Amino acid sequence: MEQIVLKTKSLNKRFGKKMAIEDFTIELEAGKIYGLLGRNGAGKTTLLKMISGLILPTDGDIEVFGSNPFENTAVLEKVCIVLETQLWEPTEKLANILKICSEVYPKWDQEYAELLLKKFNLDKSKKIKQLSRGMVSAAFIIVGLAAKTPLTIFDEPTLGLDAAVRETFYNELINEAQEGERTFILSTHLIEEVHRLFEEVIIIDTGKLRTYQPLEKLRQSGYYVSGKEDDVKAAVEGLNVIEMQRLGSLAVCTVIGDKKDAIGKPGIEIEPISLQKLFVHMTEHNKEENSNEL
C-alpha cells in the first residue's frame, strides 16, 4: 500500500467574490514527482499555499501527513515550499537564510547546501537584493533541495534560470527522488522541457481540478492524424476533433480519444500528441479561435 502524503477534500478558497480554488479533491502518494500545470491565475499558488499551511481554506479539508497543516509545526517541518515570490527580506543574507532553514527543518543537510552553492556558483555572503532574478531562483532551489523534507513543493522554480542551471536542478531533483523517500510537487510552464520528470500530472483550470493522471496515461489520451485532407476527414469522422490545420491539400487533425479509433484507416499517419498541446486544449476557453487555416 502506498502511503498518502496529502489529501484534500472539497477544498474551496474564496478571495472576495472570486473562487480561487473550487471543490478541489485530490490524494498524493509518497515518493513521486507530481507535476502541477495550470495557466497564469489558475489557482496553482493558492492551492500550494494552502497545502503548506501558509493560508487557510474558506472551507473543505486538507490533511498533510495525516493532520491539518495550518500553524502545525509537526507538519510544517516536513513540508518545504519554494514560492515564485519569496517571503524573505531583500536585506537578508543568503547565509542567514540557510541558517534559519537549518533550524526549521530537522533533516536539513548543510553539507549538501554548501555543495549546491558551489554548483550554482552562489556566494552566500550576498544579500537577496544583490542577486539577479536567476540567482534568487537558484538560492531557493537550494533551500528546497537541502531541506530534505518528505514533501517539497517548487512553485515555478526555474524563473530566470539559464538552461545550464535548469539542467543542474533537474539532475539534483532526480537524485533526490531516486531514493523514493521524498515527494515533490513541481509547478511549471516549461511543459515540454520538464514533463518527462513527472510521474503524475495534475492540471488545474480556473480553480478546478481538470485532470489528475499518470503521465503515460495522459499522453495516450490524444493523437494527431495527418494525410490528404479527404483521407483525414474520412478517418476522423465521428471522432472528437479539437483542431484541424490545413496545408495545401494536406491536413492535420488533433483528436482526443484512443488512437485505436483511427488506426488502420487508409491514407493517414498517426502521431502521438504533445503534452503541451493537450494542456492548451484542456485549459482553453475561447474555442472559436481553434480552427486556424494555414
Residue numbers at the binding site for another protein (CB under 8 A)? 32-33, 167, 170-171, 174-175, 177-178, 180, 193-194, 196-199, 215-216, 219, 271-272, 274
- Closer CB to another protein, 59 or 216, in the complex: 216
- Closer CB to another protein, 22 or 199, in the complex: 199
Tell me how far, at minimum, the Cβ of 2 lies from another protein, in Å. 12
Q: In what order do the strands lie in the sheet with 240-247?
A: 240-247, 250-256, 222-228, 268-272
- Closer CB to another protein, 128 or 215, in the complex: 215
Name the residue with cell 498518502: 4
Helices (H), 54-209: 73-76, 94-104, 110-119, 133-146, 163-178, 191-194
- Closer CB to another protein, 75 or 218, in the complex: 218
Tell me how far, at minimum, the Cβ of 206 lies from another protein, in Å. 28
- Closer CB to another protein, 123 or 216, in the complex: 216
117: cell is 552553492
Tell me how far, at minimum, the Cβ of 175 lies from another protein, in Å. 7
Of residues 3, 35, 66, the one with CA closest to residue 191: 35
Helices (H), 61-162: 73-76, 94-104, 110-119, 133-146
Sequence-distant (≥ 6) Cβ neighbours of residue 235 within 8 angstroms: 225, 227, 262, 265, 266, 267, 268
Strand residues in 17-135 grouped as ranges (E): 18-29, 33-38, 59-64, 79-82
Tell me how far, at minimum, the Cβ of 194 lies from another protein, in Å. 8
Name the residue with cell 554548483: 119
Tell me how far, at minimum, the Cβ of 73 lies from another protein, in Å. 31
Tell me how far, at minimum, the Cβ of 32 lies from another protein, in Å. 7
- Closer CB to another protein, 51 or 215, in the complex: 215
Tell me how far, at minimum, the Cβ of 285 lies from another protein, in Å. 27
- Closer CB to another protein, 174 or 247, in the complex: 174
Q: In what order do the strands lie in the sheet with 208-214?
A: 79-82, 151-155, 183-187, 33-38, 200-205, 208-214
